Structure 1
C-alpha cells in the first residue's frame, strides 16, 4: 500500500491568489524511477488542447530564490514526442534547452530522462533513498501555456518506501496539482521516507495554521519531534518582529529538509515552504547549526516572498532575474536570521559577537565596499548566486556578498533607530510589511526610503539611503555597539600582516590561488594570482605555514622579502607589513569593564525575546 503524506498547499512565486483553472485542461506529468540507483527519472509530459502552429517546450534557466542562470537543460536526454496513441512526432532541439514540434495533433506527449545527482536547493538529487526535486531543474514546460493548471503523478513510491512532502495540492492517491506554472515552479518536492512533526499555530488574526517540519535524515522520530519544538520557538520569535504571520495559502507552511553528508548545503525560500539541505550526518547533535538556516528561510516568508521587490515580478524562468534590492531582501534577512537566535535563547551574546564582527568585517576589512554600494553588489547576484564560471574573476576586489553587506547595513540601522529615534528595526520592518507585503504590492528602493521617512523623518531617510544604500559611506560601528556594552577593536593590533593568502604547493614553491586583495601589502608589492612564491626572507616556501611563520614576530612597518616567479621570470619584492584591517567584537564584561544601566537596558531591549 502506498503511504502518502500531504504536508502543505502549493506556493505561488508572485503575489496573486490561487489561480482559477477555468476550463483549461491541465498539463500532466508522470514520473517514474526505474533507474534511481543511477540517478535517473523517466518523465512524460502530456499536453492536451495544443493550439495549431509551432509547439515549443523548454527547460528553465533560472529558479525562484536564485538569481543567476543555471543550465538545467543539460540534464535531460532521450527526448521524444508522440501523439496520444504513441505515434512518433518530429521534435527538434533548436537551442540547448528549447525544443519545437512544427506538426502535431491536439494532444502531444513528450518524454525524457532526467539525471540528478546534486542535492541542494537549486538542482535535483535522485537515488534509491529519495528524489529531491527542484521543479525548474526537473520539468520541461510549454511556452505560452503558463496559465494552464498542472498535475503530477508520482510513481514507484511503494517500491522505494517513499512519501510525498510538498506544497502541491493532493488530489488523490499519488496525484498532486498546481494551478499554473508559477505555482508549480515554486513548489519543491521531496519523495523520501520523511519524518514529519507538525503543530497548529493560531495567528494573531485568530486563524489556525498548520506548521510542519518534514525531514529526510537518519534520525529517529523523537529527535525530529524535539527539533520541531525548537523550530516552534524561532517561528514565534520571527512572528513577533512583524506582529503577525502571513496567511499561508491553504493555511499551512512546511519546512522541507534533507540532511546527509553527501548533500550540498543550501536553503531556498518559497512562498509557503522552504527547501533546506544540510551536509550534517544527522539532525541530532547539529540542531543549533540547522536553526540558523531555518530562521533565515522562514523570515523570507515575509521578506522577499510577500515583501517582494518589483524587479522580481513576475519571475522569468528563461534568464537571470536581476534586482537592486537584494541588500534588503537577503541582507536584512541575514541580519535577522542570526540575531533572532539570541532572542530565541539558542545563542548567547558572546556567541553573537563573532557574528557581528563578521558582518562588520565584510564592509570594513574588504576592498569592494569601500568603492561600491549595496545596490551594485545586489546586481552582481546574476553572476555569483551559485553561478558557474570556469574563468578567473576579480571578485576579491570588486564584490562583497549582498547578504553580509546588507546584514551590516541592517545592524547599523537597527542600532541607529534605537539610539536616535527610540524605535527599532522591527518597527520599520513592520511598516514595510503593512505597506507592501500584506497587501501584495511590489516595492522599489524609493518605497523603502519613504517608509523609513514615515517612521523617522525625511531628512534622516534621505541621508541614510544616499550614504549607505546608493553610496558606500560606512557607519560608526564602534560608537553604535558601545551603546549595547560591546567593544569593536582590531583583531590583531600591532601585529604585522601581509594579507590573507590562498596558496598551494606548486613547482617548488607556493602558487597564489586567486586574486590578491587590493588593500593588502602583498598586492601593493605587486604579487597576484598564479605567482609562485619561492622564498620568504631567504627561506624556502614549500608549505603554507612559511607565510605565517615569516610574519608571526613582526610588527606593522617591518619588511619581508619575497622571491617569486611568474611568466616574466624570477623576481624579488619587498613587502611592507601593515596592521590587519579585521575587527573583533567583545562584551564589556569580557574586557573587564562594567556595564552601565543604560547599556544593560539597551542590550536587553535589542536582544531579549519579544514573544509575549
Structure 2
C-alpha cells in the first residue's frame, strides 16, 4: 500500500513539474475572412537572461528552407502582470526579450493563405496549420511539453483533427518540441470515417480519414473502403503496422480546386491537399498521394536517416539518403496501388516507363549519383529561390532516381536471389525502423549483404548504382516479368529542344539538356527560333513537321534570335531516345509460364487471405 501511495505521489509530482514547464498556445480567428489568426504563447519559468523566440525556417518532410517569419506581425510580449515588455527583432524570424519576469506571454498575428503541406491557411471554411509555419517557439526549451487550445466561437461547427493528444477542455498536448512541430492541425466542419487495424501482437489501432471537401458522408465512407484495401497492401510489405503514438493515425485531407496541392508525411498523420472539385468522381486519381504518404509512416518517420536526426528548424536539412526515403516510397506508392487492384498492369508499366526514361535520358542522372541528387534537395524541394539554375543538367529528382534504384533492386533480388524488395524493407524495418535507430548509407549496404548472404553483391550494387552513376540493365530485368523495353520511335529524328513556348507566332526555347542536338548547336534558354531548314517556326506543328521530315544524322541550318541579334547555327538530329515498355504478348512474343509467375508475384496482391 505504501509503495502504491509513493508511486501515485511521484506521478503527481512529475505531472505538476511538467505542468509548470508547459509552453501553452491559444488561437482564435476573428478575421479568418482575411486569412488571419491571432496567436498567444505563454512561457512559464523563463530562465534569467535574454529570452529568444523565433519562427522556423524549415519543416518536417521538407528539406529546403521556407521563410515562415514573413507572415508574422504585431509581435508583442508581456509579463505576468500584463505589462508590455521590450522586444528586439534580431532577424526577420527571430526576436529577443532582454528583460522579463518568470512568465512571458507573447502575442502575434499570423497571415496564412496557402493550402498545402508546408504553410498555413485560414478562411471562413477552415484553419489549415503546418506547425512550423504557425507557431513561434522559445529557443533552448525543446524538451518542454506544449499545449494548444482553440477559440472556435462562431466558426460553423469547426472540429479539431490532429495527431496531438487530446486532453480535457479542448486542450491538445505534445510531449516535446520535436513532436509538436511534426503535428499538423486541421480545423473544419469535416466528414470522417475510421476503421481499426490489428498488429500481429494483437494490439488494435485506429486509422481515420478526415476530409474537408464538398462530399457527403456516403462518399467518405466509400472512399475509406478503398483506402482500407490500400492499407492492407502496405501492411503486407512490412508485416506489421508502426506503433502509432496514442493509437491513432490520421489522413488530413483537404480538397478544392484553388488549393496549392501537396502531400506531407508526419509521424502519426499525413496532410493531403488535392486540387479537384471534390472526391466523388476522382477517387482513383487521388489515391497515389495517399499511398505514397502512408508508406512514409514506416519509411522516413521511423525507418529514418541519421542525417535528419534531430531535425533542425533553423536551416535546411541535407540528407544523403532521400533516394531511399523518398525514392523507394515513390516506387511503392504506385506498386501497391497495382497490387490493390486500383491500377492495371498497363498502368504499372507506364509508371515504370516514366521512371526508366528519366533515369536513362536525363543529364542529371548521367552525371550525378542518387546520393548527390539527395543532397540537392536543399535547393530543389520548393526552396526559396527565384533565379535561374542549371537544374536541368545537374539534377534528377531523388523521387524518380530513387524509384529507379528500387525497381532495379526489386527485379534483381527476385531474379538472382529468390528474394524481393519487400524482404529488404522488412529487414531494414527490423534492424532500424521498429527500434527507431537512425541509419546511414553503409547501414543500408550492410543490411542488403546480410539479406542476400552476398556482401560482394551488396558492395557492387551500392558502388555502381548508389555512390556511382552506372545504370542497371532494365531491358534484361524487365524481360523476367514478360515486359519489353524498346525505343518508342526507332530511327525517329530528335532535336532535344524540350519545352518550347509559342506565343504570337514566336517560338522561345527553355533550357536545353547537355548532349542533345539543341545543346550542341548552342541553343539554350531565351533563344527564339526563326527558321529550321528554311521553314519558319511559328507553332508546334511547324516544328514537328521539320523534325519528321528528317532522320538521325541529318544536319540542318537553324536561324534564331538571341537578345535581339539574329544568329545561325547547324543542328544535327540524333535518334529519339524515348523508351517504352510493352507487355511481351502485345509485341507478338510469347509470355512464358515463368514470366507470368514472375509478373504475378511482383504485381499481384500480397495480402494473405
Q: TM-score range by the shorter chain?
A: over 0.9
- TM-score, scaled relative to structure 2: 0.95
Question: Using the alignment, how far apart are the partners of 1:560 and 1:193 within structure 2?
Answer: 63
Q: Which residue of 1 aligns with 2:466?
A: 469
Q: Which residue of 1 aligns with 2:6?
A: none
Question: Using the alignment, how far apart are the partners of 1:478 and 1:441 within structure 2?
Answer: 37
Q: Which moved more, 1:463-472 or 1:45-54?
A: 45-54
Which of 572, 577, 600 lines up with 1:576 in the alignment?
A: 572
Q: Which moved more, 1:121-130 or 1:493-502?
A: 493-502
Relative to 1, partners in 2 of residues 1:163 and 1:23: Cα closer, same or farther, differing over 3 Å? closer
CA contact (8 A) 1:366 1:519 kept: no
Q: Which residue of 2 aligns with 1:458?
A: 455
Q: Which residue of 2 aligns with 1:70?
A: 66
Relative to 1, partners in 2 of residues 1:438 and 1:108: Cα closer, same or farther, differing over 3 Å? same
Relative to 1, partners in 2 of residues 1:506 and 1:595: Cα closer, same or farther, differing over 3 Å? closer
CA contact (8 A) 1:364 1:582 kept: no
Which of 178, 183, 193 lines up with 2:179 in the alignment?
A: 183
The question of 1:550 aligning with 2:554 is answered no
Q: Which residue of 2 aligns with 1:484?
A: 481
Give the superposition deviation at 1:23: 5.4
Deviation digits for residues 112-165 of structure 1 (CA, Å, limit 9, x no counterpart): 110111100000111111111000000100001111111111112542321111
How do 1:355-504 residues align onto structure 2 when only pairs under 5 Å count?
Answer: 355-456=351-452, 457-504=454-501
CA contact (8 A) 1:21 1:149 kept: no
Q: Which residue of 2 aligns with 1:127?
A: 123
Q: Which moved more, 1:469-478 or 1:165-174?
A: 165-174
Relative to 1, partners in 2 of residues 1:569 and 1:24: Cα closer, same or farther, differing over 3 Å? same
Q: Which residue of 2 aligns with 1:244?
A: 240
Deviation digits for residues 256-288 of structure 1 (CA, Å, limit 9, x no counterpart): 110110111211111111111111111111111
How do 1:142-181 residues align onto structure 2 when only pairs under 5 Å count?
Answer: 142-156=138-152, 158-181=154-177
Give the superposition deviation at 1:519: 2.5
How do 1:89-128 residues align onto structure 2 when only pairs under 5 Å count?
Answer: 89-128=85-124
CA contact (8 A) 1:24 1:148 kept: no
Q: Which residue of 2 aligns with 1:14?
A: none
Q: Which moved more, 1:84-93 or 1:462-471?
A: 84-93
Q: Which residue of 2 aligns with 1:211?
A: 207
Question: Using the alignment, how far apart are the partners of 2:502 and 2:399 within structure 1?
Answer: 33
Give the superposition deviation at 1:476: 0.3
Give the superposition deviation at 1:226: 0.4
Question: Using the alignment, how far apart are the partners of 1:26 and 1:114 within structure 2?
Answer: 22
Deviation digits for residues 76-128 of structure 1 (CA, Å, limit 9, x no counterpart): 11111112232211101111100001011111111111011110000011111
SS in 2 for 1:88: coil
Give the superposition deviation at 1:24: 4.0
Question: Using the alignment, how far apart are the partners of 1:423 and 1:475 within structure 2?
Answer: 18
Question: Using the alignment, how far apart are the partners of 1:157 and 1:184 within structure 2?
Answer: 24
The question of 1:33 aligning with 2:29 is answered yes
Deviation digits for residues 311-363 of structure 1 (CA, Å, limit 9, x no counterpart): 00000100011000000100011101111111111111011111000110111
The question of 1:277 aligning with 2:305 is answered no
SS in 2 for 1:257: strand
CA contact (8 A) 2:505 2:539 kept: no
Question: Using the alignment, how far apart are the partners of 1:498 and 1:531 within structure 2?
Answer: 14
Which of 312, 323, 341 lines up with 1:316 in the alignment?
A: 312
Give the superposition deviation at 1:32: 0.7
Deviation digits for residues 554-593 of structure 1 (CA, Å, limit 9, x no counterpart): 2212233221111482111121111121111111122232
Relative to 1, partners in 2 of residues 1:53 and 1:332: Cα closer, same or farther, differing over 3 Å? same
CA contact (8 A) 1:307 1:442 kept: yes
Question: Using the alignment, how far apart are the partners of 2:545 and 2:469 within structure 1?
Answer: 36
- TM-score, scaled relative to structure 1: 0.95
Give the superposition deviation at 1:49: 1.2
Q: Which moved more, 1:192-201 or 1:170-179?
A: 170-179
SS in 1 for 2:586: coil
SS in 1 for 2:100: coil
Give the superposition deviation at 1:42: 0.7
Question: Using the alignment, how far apart are the partners of 1:89 and 1:473 within structure 2?
Answer: 61
Give the superposition deviation at 1:201: 1.1
Q: Which residue of 2 aligns with 1:326?
A: 322
How do 1:11-50 residues align onto structure 2 when only pairs under 5 Å count?
Answer: 22=18, 24-50=20-46
Question: Using the alignment, how far apart are the partners of 2:372 and 2:521 within structure 1?
Answer: 29
Question: Using the alignment, how far apart are the partners of 1:569 and 1:502 within structure 2?
Answer: 22
The question of 1:80 aligning with 2:81 is answered no
Q: Which residue of 2 aligns with 1:5?
A: none
Q: Which residue of 2 aligns with 1:536?
A: 532
Deviation digits for residues 201-249 of structure 1 (CA, Å, limit 9, x no counterpart): 1112110011110011001110110000110111110111111111111
Give the superposition deviation at 1:370: 1.0
Question: Using the alignment, how far apart are the partners of 2:308 and 2:111 within structure 1?
Answer: 29
CA contact (8 A) 1:506 1:532 kept: no
Give the superposition deviation at 1:534: 1.7
Q: Which residue of 2 aligns with 1:8?
A: none
The question of 1:518 aligning with 2:499 is answered no
SS in 1 for 2:96: strand
SS in 2 for 1:431: helix
Question: Using the alignment, how far apart are the partners of 2:597 and 2:558 within structure 1?
Answer: 52
Which of 235, 241, 258 lines up with 2:231 in the alignment?
A: 235
CA contact (8 A) 2:254 2:273 kept: yes
Question: Using the alignment, how far apart are the partners of 2:596 and 2:96 within structure 1?
Answer: 67
SS in 1 for 2:160: strand
Give the superposition deviation at 1:506: 6.2
Give the superposition deviation at 1:548: 2.0
CA contact (8 A) 1:61 1:319 kept: yes
Q: Which moved more, 1:536-545 or 1:243-252?
A: 536-545
Report the aligned-residue RMSD. Answer: 1.5
Q: Which residue of 2 aligns with 1:11?
A: none
SS in 1 for 2:585: coil
SS in 2 for 1:315: coil
The question of 1:288 aligning with 2:284 is answered yes
Question: Using the alignment, how far apart are the partners of 1:23 and 1:69 within structure 2?
Answer: 33
Q: Which residue of 2 aligns with 1:254?
A: 250
